[in-house]
Amino acid sequence: MSVRAAPSSLHRVKRVAAFFAIVWGVAASFASFDLFFRGLSSRLMETGGVFESLAPLSALENSEVCRVEPADSNSADRRASPDIRSRAWALGVQMGLHARAALIVAENTQASGERASASLAGQRRAVAGVAAELERLAAALNVPGPGAFTPANPTTVLIEFVPFVEGNENNTGKALATAYGRDACELYKMGAYWGFSVLMRAMVPGEVNVFDGEIAYYARRLEIPESIWRPMVARTPSNATSDALITEGDAATARVTAHLRNDAETGAAPAK
Q: Find out whether 171 and 147 touch, Cβ atoms under 8 Å.
A: yes
Q: Which of 19-23, 77-81, 266-270 has the highest mean pLDDT?
A: 77-81
Which pLDDT band holds residue 174 (cuts at 50, 70, 90)? very high
DSSP state letter for 6: P
Q: Find out whether 161 and 63 touch, Cβ atoms under 8 Å.
A: no
pLDDT over 70 (residue 266): no
107 vs 35, 68, 120, 194, 224, CA distance in Å?
A: 17, 36, 11, 21, 35
253 vs 9, 73, 78, CA distance in Å?
A: 11, 31, 24
Domain spans, the chain: 7-262
Residue type, 27: A
User: What percent of the chain lies above the pLDDT cut of 70?
Assistant: 69
User: What percent of the chain lies above the pLDDT cut of 90?
Assistant: 46
Q: Mention every residue, 6+ apart, whose C-beta is less than 8 A from residue 67.
A: 177, 182
Where is pLDDT greater, at 110 or 185?
Answer: 185
The predicted pLDDT at position 56 comes to: 59
pLDDT, tens digit (0-9, with 9 covering 90-100), for 66-75? 998 777 656 5
pLDDT, tens digit (0-9, with 9 covering 90-100), for 239-259? 998 888 888 988 999 999 999
pTM of the predicted structure, to 2 decimals:
0.82
